Amino acid sequence: MQFKVPQNIDMQDRIIGPLTLSQFFYLLFGGLIIYILFSKLVLSGFSFLFWILAIPIGVFSFCMAFIKIQDRPFPVFFMAMVRYMSQPRARVWQHYTPAQQSQPLKQTKKAEQQPKKTLDPIRVNELASVLDNPETKQ
C-alpha cells in the first residue's frame, strides 16, 4: 500500500488568501495602529505628525510580514538584533600573574608523580575464581 508523504512540512499553511496567519496578524496590527493614529491625529489637525509615525509603522509591519533576511523570517532577525543590542558586547579579559598561571601546572605534576598501579597476577586469579564460583563468599 502506498502513501503520499508530505514534502513541504516546514511551510506554514496559507489561511487568508496568499497570507499565513502570522503575516495576516502583523499586517492587521500594523493597520490597526495606523488607523488609531489616523483617527486621533488627522482628525485633530496633526496630519504631519501622523505621516511621521504612520510610515515607519507601516514599513515595519510590512517587513515583519514579508521580508526574509538570509532565508530567515524578519521577526527572527529582529529579535536577534534586539538581543544583540541589549547585551554587552565588551568582553573583560582577566589578567593572571605568572604565579597564578603556574599553579595549575604544579597540580598536574603532582598527579603525574603518583605511582602507577600494576596488576598482581595472584590477586587477578583470586578475583576470577570468586566471580566464576558464585557460591564462594568472602
What would the pLDDT profile of 93-108 be if each residue is shown by its tens digit? Answer: 777 766 655 555 555 5
Q: Using only C-alpha atoms, what is the Rg of the chain?
A: 35
Is 9 within a domain?
Answer: no
pLDDT of residue 138: 52
pLDDT of residue 136: 58
Is 124 within a domain?
Answer: no
Higher pLDDT among residues 71 and 98, named by residue: 71
Is 71 within a domain?
Answer: yes
> What average pLDDT does the structure give for the chain?
83
Three-class DSSP category at 16: strand
Query: pTM, whole model, 2 decimals?
Result: 0.57
Query: Residue 71 belongs to what domain range?
Result: 14-86
Is 128 within a domain?
Answer: no
Average pLDDT over residues 100-121: 64
Question: Distance (Å, rounded) from C-alpha 78 to C-alpha 81?
Answer: 5
Is 102 within a domain?
Answer: no
Higher pLDDT among residues 79 and 132, named by residue: 79
Share of the chain above pLDDT 70, in %: 83
**How many structural domains comprise the chain?**
1
Is 82 within a domain?
Answer: yes
Is 131 within a domain?
Answer: no
Average pLDDT over residues 72-93: 88
Nearest one of 29, 59, 89, 112 to 21, comparing CA atoms:
29
Sign of the Cα torsion 33, 35, 39, 45 reads positive
Confidence of residue 38 (pLDDT cuts 50, 70, 90): very high
Count of H-run helices and E-run strands, the chain: 5, 4
Is 46 within a domain?
Answer: yes
Distances (CA, A) of 47 to 1, 27, 81, 110: 66, 22, 32, 79
Confidence of residue 133 (pLDDT cuts 50, 70, 90): confident
> Is residue 42 pLDDT above 80, yes or no?
yes
